[in-house]
Amino acid sequence: MKLISEPYILLTITIGIYWLTKYLQNKTNSVFLNPILITIIAVIAILKAAGISYDTYHEAGKYIEFFLKPSIVALGVPLYLQINKIKKQVIPIVISQLVGAVVGIISGVFIAKWLGASDAVIISIAPKSVTTPLAIDISTSIGGIPSLTASMVVMVGIFGSVAGFKILQLFKVKNPMSKSLSMGTASHGLGTAQAMAISQRFGAYSSMGLILNGLFTALFTPIILALLGFI
């Protein structure tokens, strides 16, 4: 078991499980074979079976974590390629993202409060719809629990990437821009990755949703929580 606990072995296992699941998803076109979800479940099972602590795994995970922020920056490439189309619709895009950010914050807060969550948990849930690095920074600055925030971000992202387009289809949302912006706003990077798999145009608008929602959430989360009396 000592060999498997080596960081590079754990890193290889993680990437291998993700690649295999992605390959199977492409072959079967199944939404349930979500590479992120399957990899998380499989890695947890392996760590439990091998008696490996999270701290040990983090030594491997930090190599993946290192590329998290640059990968978000890289989403600016498809955004740049679609910039002329985006300029023509900048006002409805900005307004929709402002509404989306505020609704995302308030809905999470009130649902958590209704379910009896403590103030610390509510604060941690508020920035759930933005990408992990930004959500952790927001949570830390307002007195939340960063690890809980990160977990919520992952769960929201996985749910959105698996069910997001299906829900939009159920509600008969047909406009590509609306669908893509919704995915970026509600499901951050994972939703954007799903949109990118459809087309570069979908990915560009989803990137815009991710960026604007991140900006508005960072600005308005402390204000909304203060107005509601949580901080």
How many angstroms separate the most distant Cα atoms in the chain? Answer: 58
Rg, the chain, Cα only = 18
For every residue of 164-218, DSSP letters joined together read HHHHHHHTT---HHHHHHHHHHHHHHHHHHHHHHH-HHHHHHHHHHHHHHHHHHH
Give pLDDT, residue 1: 54
* Distance, CA of 25 to CA of 33 (rounded, Å): 5
* Distance, CA of 132 to CA of 149 (rounded, Å): 8
* Distance, CA of 139 to CA of 158 (rounded, Å): 20
Digit-coded pLDDT (tens) for 96-131 = 999 999 999 999 899 999 999 888 899 999 988 888
Contact (CB, 8 A) for 121 and 112: yes
Domains of the chain, by residue range, sit at 7-66, 74-227
For residue 207 the two structure tokens come to 């990137």
Q: Which residue has the higher pLDDT, 36 or 96?
A: 96
Give pLDDT, residue 2: 61
**Around 57, how many Cα atoms within 13 Å sit in the side-chain half-sphere?**
14
Average pLDDT over residues 62-90: 77
